[in-house]
Amino acid sequence: MAITFVDWNPAPPDKEMGLWRDVYFATSGPVAIRYPTVLTHFDSPNNDRAHLTVTALLKNGSNQPVKGTLNGKIENVEFVQDVELASGESKDVTFEPEKFPQLNLAKPRLWWPAQMGTPNLHDLHMEFDVNGKLSDKSDTHFGIREVTSELNANNGRLFTINGKKILIRGGGWSSDMMLRENSQRLQDEFRYVRDMGLNTIRLEGKLEHEEFFDLADRQGILIMAGWCCCDHWEHWARWKPQDYDIAKDSLQDQIYRLRSHPSLVMWMNGSDNPPPPDVEEMYLNVEKQARWPNPVVSSATAKPTSVTGESGVKMTGPYEYIAPSYWTEDAKSGPHHCNPGGCGGAYGFNTETSPGPAVPPVESLRAMLPDDHLWPIDDYWNYHAGGGQFKTIQVYTDALKARYGQADNAEDFGFKSQLMGYEGIRAMFEAYSRDKYTATGVIQWMLNNAWPSIIWHLYDYYLRPGGGYFGAKKAMEPLHPVYSYDDRSIWLVSSQYQDVRGLKLTARIYNIDMAEKFSKEASLDAAADSTNKVFDLPELQDLTPVYFLVLRLEDTSGKVVGSNFYWLSTKPETLDWEKSNWYMTPTASYADYTELRTLPKIALKVISRTERKSEDSVTHVTLENPSKSLAFFIRLKVDKGAGGEEILPVLWEDNYFSLLPGEKREVTATYRAAELGTAKPSVEVKGWNVASQ
C-alpha cells in the first residue's frame, strides 16, 4: 500500500512502480511446504529446558483431496504426522511439545543477540510424502530463543531475551533510494552495526529481502519491523473494503515470512499512529492465527489504544540539533515533562530520536556537491538535507558557530561537524545506558541513508564512518565509564553479561594547558549488565574556559578495559524548554569551545605496518604525542597509496581520539585487501591541532 521515505530521503520519481524484489518459481508435487518455523518456550527462570513447537503451512495445489505424511528432523530429533488436505486446501500443521515429547530439549544451545552471547542456529529439515513419494521438502535454520516484554514502573516497554533483560540500542534502516540490492554492501553495513556495538536495526515499513534477515540471524542483530507511517497504511479514514483485504493479506504474508527468524524482536502494527480498533483487532487476529512468537506493539508512539492499552514506547524526537546535556536533563519526573520535544530524555523506549544532522567528513561532501558549491553552504547542501521541517541545517550550523567558532571553509566545517556528531551521539547513547532499566530502548534516527545526505546517520552513504560512528562505538564499549552532564557524576556501565571484579576507575581533570586540576580513583566490581554511580566530581575553581575530563578503567592486570575523554566548557549550556516542539528543544545558551583554537600545533610520531589476515588487510598505526600539549581529536585514514582515495569500508579500532602529553597508542584498521588493488596502504593523520602527515 506504498513505499515512501517521508522526510528522510527523496522519493524516487517512479515511486514503487513495478517489481522490485526477486520473483521466482518453485515446483513441488501436489502438496508444498511453506514457512516452516520453530517456536520456543522455556521453563522459567532457569531456562534449562526448551519446549519447541514446529509448524508449517501445507498447500494442496491439486484439485483433489490428498493424504500424506509430514516428516521433520532437528539434528538427531525426528517427528512425523499424518495429514489430510482437501482439494486446494492450505492448512497449518503443528507439532506441539505436549504430543511430541522429543521436542522437549534439555540444555539446548540458545540463540543470543551478539551483545549477550552466541547466535547459535539449528537446522530444520521437513518433507511431505504422498504414497511414499516425495512431494516437497524444505531446509531452514532457526534459533532456540524466547522474546518477551513487559511494561516497567513508568510504562516503558522492557524486553527480555531468554529471560534476561536487554537494553535495545539501535538505528533506523533506510533501503537504497532506488531499492537496489548489493550483497557485499549489506554485509559491510552489518559489520559496521556490530563494530559500533549496536544490537538492533529498526525497519520503517520496507521489509527487506531474505538475505537481510538471514544475515541478522547469523550476526545476532535484533530487528524491529512493522508498517510504514505517513502513507496509505495509516490513511484509515480513506480505506475502502479492498484496502482492508490488502492490509490483512499483506500482514499475513509478512508474519508468515518473518516468524521463523530469531532476529525478529517485535512487530509494530502502526508507526506514527496506532491503527483504529477494527484494524488493530484484524491485525492481532492475523498474528495469533499465524503464531507470531514475539511481542506486538500497537505503534511506534506512546498513544494508547482501546484494544491493547499502553504501547510502552514513545516517538518524541528530537530530530534536530540538541545539546548533549538534553538527554539527562529531560527527566520524566522533572518540570519539562512533557512539552512536545521535551520528552526524548533517557527514560522509556524511544523508537526514533537523534541529536540532529550528521554532516559527513569533507571527502563525502566533495563527492556529493559540485566544486563551485562546496562552500559556502547553499541550496546545493540543502538539497541533501531532508523534507518538511528539515530542509536546511540552519539550527545545526548556528550551534556549531556558537560552540566551536565560525567555519572558514568546507573542510573546517566538516571537521567541526565530526566533533558535534561525536559528542551528540555519545551523549544520547550514554544517557540511555546510564539509566537502564528506567530507560529500556533507544533507536537513533537513522543508522544509514538511502542516498548521499547531510542529516541523520551513523555512517554516510559512501560507508565513511565519521564522528557520530565513533561516538556511538565509544558509548557502547562493553565496560564503559560515563560522565553525567546533569550532575557531574561518574558512572560505570557494564553491557556484558558476566561479572567483572577488581576494576580501578580513575578520573582526571586538566586545564587546556594540561595542568592537572583534579584526580580521583576508585576500586570497584561491575556486575553483569549493570549501571552504578561511582562518585561525584567537585566544583573546581580556576578552570580554563575549556577543560578536559579523562576517564580510565583498568582490570587487575593494569590493562585499560574502558576509557572516555570529554571536552567541557565552564559556560553553562542551557535549554529553552518552554519553546520545545515536536522535533527539538532550542538551546538558550551554548557551551563555548572556541578556546580550543589556542591549542598549539603538534607533530605526532607515527609508525605503521600492514599485515594480511585471510581476505583482510590489517594496518597497525602507532602514534605518540611527544609534546607537552594535548593532541586533540586525531583522525586517521588508510589511503590507496600516498594521496590516494580512502579505503572504505574500514573497521577502525578507534578514531577521532585525543592523546595526552607523552601518550602512546596503537590502533588498527581492518579492510578488504582487494580494496587496495596494486596500491600500498598509506596512513594519513590529521587532527584539530595535529599537523597533517
Look at residue 97 in the predicted model and tell me its pLDDT: 98
The C-alpha angle with vertex 496 and arms to 492 and 497, in degrees rounded to 5, equals: 125
Give per-residue pLDDT as tens, 382-393: 999 999 999 999
* Residues 385 and 455 sit within 8 Å (Cβ to Cβ): yes
| CA count, 13 A, side-chain hemisphere, 277 | 4
Look at residue 341 in the predicted model and tell me its pLDDT: 67
More confident residue, 414 or 677: 414
Over its C-alpha atoms, the chain yields an Rg (Å, rounded) of 27
Give per-residue pLDDT as tens, 85-135: 999 999 999 999 999 999 999 999 999 999 999 999 999 999 999 999 999
Question: What is the rounded average pLDDT for all residues in the chain?
Answer: 96
Give per-residue pLDDT as tens, 490-516: 999 999 999 999 999 999 999 999 999
Look at residue 22 in the predicted model and tell me its pLDDT: 85
Q: Is 112 helix (H, G, I), strand (E, B) or coil?
A: coil
Give per-residue pLDDT as tens, 221-232: 999 999 999 889
Mean pLDDT along residues 529-556: 98
The string over 70-83, giving b where at least 16 C-beta atoms fall within 10 Å of a residue's C-beta and e elsewhere, is bbbbbeeeebeeeb
User: Does the structure show a pLDDT above 80 at 257?
Assistant: yes
d(CA 605, CA 621): 10
Look at residue 338 in the predicted model and tell me its pLDDT: 65
Which burial class, exposed, middle or buried, applies to 55 when counting CB atoms under 10 A from its CB (0-12, 13-18, 19+)?
Answer: buried
More confident residue, 281 or 20: 281
* Cβ neighbours for 271, distance < 8 A, ≥ 6 positions apart: 204, 205, 226, 227, 228, 229, 230, 233, 234, 299, 300, 301
d(CA 133, CA 235): 49
* 504: β partners: 523, 554
* Residues 609 and 592 sit within 8 Å (Cβ to Cβ): no
The string over 572-590, giving b where at least 16 C-beta atoms fall within 10 Å of a residue's C-beta and e elsewhere, is ebebebeebeebbbbbeeb
Look at residue 71 in the predicted model and tell me its pLDDT: 98
User: Does the structure show a pLDDT above 70 at 315?
Assistant: yes
* 554: β partners: 504, 560
Look at residue 1 in the predicted model and tell me its pLDDT: 82
Determine whether domain 31-142 maps to CATH 2.60.40.10. yes
Instruction: Break the chain into its structural domains and give their ranges.
Output: 31-142, 479-598, 605-687
**What does pTM read for this prediction?**
0.97
**Cα distances (angstroms) measured from residue 247 to each of 13, 233, 239, 242, 661:** 25, 8, 10, 9, 62
Residue type, 613: K
Mean pLDDT along residues 74-86: 97
User: Does the structure show a pLDDT above 90 at 363?
Assistant: yes
Which burial class, exposed, middle or buried, applies to 319 when counting CB atoms under 10 A from its CB (0-12, 13-18, 19+)?
Answer: buried
User: Does the structure show a pLDDT above 60 at 457?
Assistant: yes
Q: Residue 279: what are its φ and ψ, rounded to 5°?
A: -75, -40
DSSP run (H or E) holding 375: none
User: Does the structure show a pLDDT above 80 at 559?
Assistant: yes
> Phi/psi class of residue 117: alpha, beta or left (left: φ > 0; alpha: ψ in -120 to 50)?
left
CATH of 479-598 given 3.40.50.720, 2.40.170.20, 2.30.110.10, 2.60.40.10: 2.60.40.10
* Residues 484 and 434 sit within 8 Å (Cβ to Cβ): yes
More confident residue, 418 or 20: 418
d(CA 592, CA 555): 35
User: Does the structure show a pLDDT above 80 at 164?
Assistant: yes
Just list the catalytic residues.
272, 352
d(CA 237, CA 336): 34
Look at residue 279 in the predicted model and tell me its pLDDT: 98
d(CA 591, CA 27): 66
Instruction: Give, in words, the CATH class of 605-687.
Output: mainly beta
User: Does the structure show a pLDDT above 70 at 690?
Assistant: yes
Mean pLDDT along residues 549-570: 98
Give per-residue pLDDT as tens, 260-272: 999 999 999 999 9
Q: Do domains 31-142 and 605-687 have the same CATH topology?
A: yes
> Residue 335: pLDDT band by 50, 70, 90 thresholds?
low
- Tell me the residue ranges of DSSP E strands in 467-615: 479-483, 489-494, 500-511, 516-526, 531-536, 546-554, 560-569, 574-575, 587-589, 605-613
Q: Around Cβ 291, how many Cβ atoms within 10 Å?
A: 16
Look at residue 212 in the predicted model and tell me its pLDDT: 98
Three cell numbers written together for 395:
539550527
d(CA 230, CA 107): 46
C-alpha of 399 from chain center: 26
Cis amide prior to 262 (ω within 30 degrees) = no
Give per-residue pLDDT as tens, 136-152: 999 999 999 999 999 99
**Which 3-state string (H, E, C) describes 298-320?**
CCCCCCCECCCECCCCECCCCCC
Mean pLDDT along residues 5-16: 79
